[in-house]
Every structure is written in structure tokens, then in C-alpha cells.
Amino acid sequence: MRIAIASDHAAVELKAELREYLIELGHEVADLGPETADRVDYPDYGYLLAAVIADGTAERGVALCGSGIGISIAVNRNPACRAALVSEPLSAALAREHNDANVLAMGAVLPFVYTPMPIEHLGLLGAMAAMGLIGGLLSIAAYRLAPAVIVAPMQYSQMLWAVFYGWLFFSESLDFNTALGSAVIIASGIYIVLREGTPAVSTNRPVLENRSRFDTGMQPRIGSWLRLVERRGSSE
């Protein structure tokens, strides 16, 4: 396969390594430059690469610069080119298979300028994870100690906290639709709590306490299984 490769001054060394690698694989490689690390403008070499793709001199292209972003934009200005910025084999394969990319663009220096997360940020992430775990455990304990109809509405206070934190940290304001919807949901939760907390409010038992409810036919209910087991035990 005829492959053209071009870069700017920041990716000259990477270009040379890729050129030799492609030649070893049996491809015909056209190195469009530059030859030295003297400063050049990446659009010039991006346009040159795009031109040889467009006129059929090369079937595929490899475009390199410091980040890969700039030269990929330059190449894509030519309608005949579909340059995809990739950083690992999977994205390169998907770009070719699903997007019909004919030029791959890569960055030469980004892997060397990666800044690891500061230790204090890792500590904050750990604190967030711990708080989430504690909150989940407390929610489980609450559902064990109280009926779900009482505990669940209490979670509606999350909306109030979200509004408060949005105002405190992100300068967000509460719009009318959000306020109205929150009020309806919270009022419904309070109504459920008051209704379930009032004795003898209805002659109907809650659904969860009634095991004689008719099956829907979609899936077996636990009451049906229990009756089946009881009948088998009595017959034995």
C-alpha cells in the first residue's frame, strides 16, 4: 500500500520511527517532510499530505504534530480526506472500519506532558467515595427500621440540597418550573407520610401486605410459590 507521512518539527522523530516501521511491514512510504527539527508550520505539511491523498499518489496518510489536533484540521480542509485523530489501536481500527478514515493523525508530545492528579484531589475523591458508602449504608439501615412508604419520601429532600448547593457553589438560580415540580413532589411525599401515619385511614390493606392479589401472568409471585411448597409438603 502507498502511504504518505508528514509532520511538523515537533514530531520529526516519531515520523522517522513510523516510516521505518511501515517499510518493514512492506508498504511503500512517501516521507513528505520535514527532514529536520527546525521550526515549521504544520498546516503546510497537512495541506501537502492532503494533496497527495486527493490526487491518488498515496492511498493512505499519517499526519503528525505535537498534539495531532492542528494537522488533522489542516488535512480535513481537503474534501477528499477524512483524517481521524487517534491515540491507541482501537480508535484507529474503528475510525477505519466505521468512518472510512483515510488519514490517521497522532500527537507526538501529549504523552509526555500528562500531569497526574494531585494527591489532595485523590484525597477528595476518597472522601467522596467514603461519604457515598456511608450514605448508602444509612439508607439501607433506614429501610430496615422503618416502612418504605415513610423512608422513601424523605429522599425528596435531595432536591432541596441540590438547589442549595447549586446556588452556593455554581451560582445557579431556581427557576419557576423547577420550583413548581419540586413543590408537587415534596407535597406528595408529605401527604403519603401523613396518610400512612394515620391509623384506620382506609379499610384496604397496603399492597405489600396482601399475598392473595391476583397474578398478572407476567411472572410468578412469591405467594404462589409458597402455596405450592405448602401443598407438596402436606401431600408428603
Q: What is the CA radius of gyration of the chain?
A: 33
- Chain centroid to CA 228: 46
Q: What is the pLDDT of residue 78?
A: 96
Catalytic residue, from 9, 27, 98, 121: name it.
98
Write down the domain spans for the chain: 2-112, 119-216
**Distance from C-alpha of 68 to C-alpha of 8, rounded to nearest angstrom:** 10
CATH of 2-112, one of 3.30.450.20, 3.30.70.890, 3.90.950.10, 3.40.1400.10: 3.40.1400.10
212 Rama sector, left if φ>0, alpha if ψ -120 to 50, beta otherwise: alpha
Cell numbers placing 177: 418550573
Spatial CB neighbours of 57, under 8 Å, sequence gap ≥ 6: 2, 4, 30
pLDDT for 4 beyond 90: yes
Q: Is 81 a catalytic residue?
A: no
pLDDT for 35 beyond 50: yes
Residues 60-78: pLDDT tens digits? 999 999 999 999 999 999 9
Q: What is the pTM assigned to this prediction? A: 0.50
Residues 183-227: pLDDT tens digits? 888 888 778 777 776 665 555 555 454 444 444 444 555 555 566
Catalytic residue, from 27, 65, 81, 121: name it.
65
